[in-house]
Amino acid sequence: MQRRQLLTGLGGGATALALGLLFTPRSGIGGDRPEPLPPTGDDPFTLGVASGMPTPDSVVLWTRLAPRPFEPLGGLPEAPLALQWELAEDERFTSGLRRGETLARPENGHSVHVEVGELPSDRRYFYRFRCGEAESPVGRTRTAPAAGANVSRLRLALASCQHYEQGAFALQREIAQQDLDLVVFVGDYLYESSNPRYRLRRFEGPRPTTLEGYRRRHATYKLDPDLRASHAAHPWLLTWDDHEVENDYAGDTSYAEWDPADFLRVRAAAYKAYFEHMPVSPRMAPRGASMAIQAHYGWGRLADLWTLDNRQYRSIQACNEDGHAGGRMLGSCAALEDASRTMFGTSQERWIAQELATSQGAWRLLAQSTQVAPACIDTPLGLRLYSDSWDGYPRARERLMAAIAAQPQGDVVCLGGDVHRHVAARLRADPRDLRSPVVASEFVTSSITTRSASDTAVQWMLASNPDLLHARSDERGYQLIELDARRLRCEMRATAFPVRSAARVHTQASWVVERGRPGPQLDTLQVPLRDVPT
Ligand code: FE
Ligand code: CA
């Protein structure tokens, strides 16, 4: 049935368009001769502006022209359009002005990813785009500090899991207002599926399976003013989880009834639409169904941060009888302990071990989609675990912890999302052995909107895992994380249920990690970060 839906979704003229754009960049489009913006009077900047992936001398500026975002190609002709960009140190665009022209190409959905280079490090900027007579909103961004620089602080927001239908993006609204260097978004940026039981607002249409379908879904998200404000206010670093493509997919294996070839076509469409709507480097542009999103970011001597990909290269969840991907509660089964099973894939696993071994950062932040610390539940029938989580990949997790434990110095903190609860946890060299040493700390953020498991289940989970120091699923949230040379502080911002964009947000708890002492400690002072003078 799912397969039939896919084929229907690709039927008729949409097939030619979707497959043509995905697989055969035809001559006749994508040439270098730009056309003027059609004079319809519609604003082409409906999806806003964004920036991301700052390095010491560069930053990526993004926009996508789409005067009518739910029409094919956003209502634009199948021709390249000329687009001007400007970046300056002041809001009036006078000091340190840089400008250029680029082409918004139809084969990229008229999106642009401008990597502005040769910029001074550790500086804040304003940017905007112009197309014909139309001018975009002004965005703010920054470059990272130079590689060897002594940096006094890094302040970031950690966020994940924003189901559009399940709540207002009140937390993005607060993130937009914060004084931050970065937003780190660790997955479930969008949801492909709908749950009719929890619906405060509606998606634009059915589950996407084609490039045009995923473009429309991304447009729904970018039309949200709070999400647009958050993108415009700060540079973002991104990785993904499953819902950007499909619930619980694992590598090239689908959760649904699709065979691998059909699923890889869906994954290619989803990755391409993701690329077209995110402020990521043009070098990350997907090739077919592959897109490398894992990356390293430096913040002077203070921190190294890596984004890691938990989905594209992982083994299928253990012990699924029907060969389809998907998480479920499991007892023990032989395949769980198969050492060849992987979360990162062999080459990403090797890469992050190498990166950790050579990092000079005082802090080493591993941003990936989900909770690393055990979340299994102790029952009278023995331990039960959720097979889509790191608990379902125990040997891969041991290898990650070994890479963390082996690095000579520096404090490792894992940052995650996906589980829709705020979590603070200790990470041990062997996470399943409480006698093994604590080697790292972990913070997992609650969801921006997505509903969660009951708090009763979480209480049970807390009782079963002494290394979980904090776990609360009753509130949605994001985390404000500030680090300096001595300590890292995580303020868990939360709201009960964001029905309105103006929902009240409070601090659920604050945790600190001191340099040289792995493991979060409750911050008894509880001074709100946002009120600390800087
Ligand atoms: Fe999620
Ligand atoms: Ca997820």
List, as one string, the DSSP characters of 393-411: -HHHHHHHHHHHHHSSS-E
Query: CA-to-CA distance for 399 and 464, rounded, in angstroms?
Result: 23
pLDDT digits (tens, 9 = 90+) for 144-177: 999 999 999 999 999 999 999 999 999 999 999 9
Mean pLDDT of 363-384: 96
What is the per-residue DSSP string for 505-533? -EEEEEEEEETTEEEEEE-SS---GGGS-
Containing H/E element for 423?
Answer: strand 422-428
Minimum mean pLDDT among 4-13, 149-158, 391-400, 503-512: which range?
Answer: 4-13
Mean pLDDT of 269-281: 98
Side chain identity, residue 195: N
**Residues 488/495, Cβ–Cβ less than 8 Å:** no
Tell me the CA–centroid distance for residue 244 and ligand 1, in Å.
10
Tell me the CA–centroid distance for residue 19 and ligand 2, in Å.
28
Side chain identity, residue 399: R
- Strands 438-444 and 411-416, bridge-based pairing: parallel
The torsion angle over the Cα atoms of residues 278, 283, 287 and 289, rounded to 10 degrees, is: -40
Query: CA-to-CA distance for 429 and 61, rounded, in angstroms?
Result: 40
Give the confidence band of 32 by pLDDT, cuts at 50, 70, 90: low
The separation between CA 153 and the C-alpha centre of its own chain, rounded to angstroms, equals 22
Tell me the CA–centroid distance for residue 92 and ligand 2, in Å.
41
Q: Which ligand is nearest to the CA of 248?
A: 2
Task: Give residue 418's pLDDT.
Answer: 98
The neighbour count for residue 77, using CB atoms within 10 Å, is 13
Is residue 408 over pLDDT 90? no
pTM, to two decimals: 0.92
Is residue 486 over pLDDT 70? yes
Is residue 35 over pLDDT 90? no
Long-range contacts for 315-320 (Cβ within 8 Å, ≥24 apart)? Answer: 315/250, 315/251, 315/340, 315/341, 315/342, 315/343, 315/393, 316/250, 316/251, 316/253, 317/248, 317/250, 317/387, 317/388, 317/392, 318/387, 318/392, 318/393, 319/387, 320/387
Backbone angles phi, psi at 417, to 5 degrees: -150, -140
Query: CA-to-CA distance for 175 and 494, rounded, in angstroms?
Result: 12
Tell me the CA–centroid distance for residue 389 and ligand 1, in Å.
12
Place of tokens 């594209």: 312
Mean pLDDT of 397-401: 98
Side chain identity, residue 448: I
- Cα diameter, the chain: 70
Q: Which ligand is nearest to the CA of 311?
A: 2
Is residue 476 over pLDDT 50? yes
Tell me the CA–centroid distance for residue 205 and ligand 2, in Å.
21
Q: Which ligand is nearest to the CA of 243?
A: 2
Task: Give residue 8's pLDDT.
Answer: 32
**Residues 499/168, Cβ–Cβ less than 8 Å:** yes
Is residue 409 over pLDDT 50? yes
Give the confidence band of 31 by pLDDT, cuts at 50, 70, 90: low
Q: What is the mean pLDDT of the chain?
A: 91
Is residue 354 over pLDDT 90? yes
Mean pLDDT of 433-447: 97
Query: CA-to-CA distance for 202 and 70, rounded, in angstroms?
Result: 14
Task: Give residue 401's pLDDT.
Answer: 98
Q: Count of residues for the chain? A: 534
pLDDT digits (tens, 9 = 90+) for 207-240: 999 999 999 999 999 999 999 999 999 999 999 9
Is residue 6 over pLDDT 60? no
Backbone angles phi, psi at 513, to 5 degrees: -125, 125
Query: Which residues have CB atoms below 5 A from the ion given as ligand 1?
Result: 161, 188, 450
Query: CA-to-CA distance for 177 and 530, rounded, in angstroms?
Result: 10
Give the confidence band of 47 by pLDDT, cuts at 50, 70, 90: very high
10-19, 106-115, 519-528: which is most confident? 106-115
Tell me the CA–centroid distance for residue 62 and ligand 1, in Å.
25
Tell me the CA–centroid distance for residue 98 and ligand 1, in Å.
39
Task: Give residue 18's pLDDT.
Answer: 34
Tell me the CA–centroid distance for residue 500 and ligand 2, in Å.
24
Is residue 23 over pLDDT 60? no
**Residues 304/355, Cβ–Cβ less than 8 Å:** yes
Domain with CATH 3.60.21.70 in the chain: 154-525
Query: CA-to-CA distance for 49 and 176, rounded, in angstroms?
Result: 13
CATH number of 154-525: 3.60.21.70
Tell me the CA–centroid distance for residue 188 and ligand 1, in Å.
5
**Residues 257/209, Cβ–Cβ less than 8 Å:** no
Closest C-alpha among 366, 50, 380, 363 to residue 221: 50
* DSSP E strand stretches across 2-138: 49-52, 59-64, 81-88, 98-104, 111-116, 124-131, 134-135
Tell me the CA–centroid distance for residue 421 and ligand 1, in Å.
10
1 or 157, which is more confident: 157
269 or 40, which is more confident: 269
Place of tokens 């918004």: 104
Tell me the CA–centroid distance for residue 226 and ligand 1, in Å.
19
Tell me the CA–centroid distance for residue 20 and ligand 1, in Å.
32
Is residue 327 over pLDDT 90? yes
Mean pLDDT of 63-76: 96
Tell me the CA–centroid distance for residue 453 and ligand 2, in Å.
13
Query: CA-to-CA distance for 80 and 98, rounded, in angstroms?
Result: 23
Give the confidence band of 465 by pLDDT, cuts at 50, 70, 90: very high
CATH 2.60.40.380 fits 3-142, yes or no: yes
Task: Give residue 140's pLDDT.
Answer: 98
pLDDT > 90: percent of the chain? 86
What is the per-residue DSSP string for 35-58? BPPPSS---TTTT-EEEE---SS-
Give the confidence band of 39 by pLDDT, cuts at 50, 70, 90: low
Minimum mean pLDDT among 121-130, 200-209, 488-497, 519-528: which range?
Answer: 519-528
Question: Based on the number of CB atoms within 10 Å of its own CB, is 196 exposed (0-12), middle (13-18) or buried (19 or more)?
Answer: exposed
Query: CA-to-CA distance for 356 and 409, rounded, in angstroms?
Result: 9
**Residues 141/59, Cβ–Cβ less than 8 Å:** yes
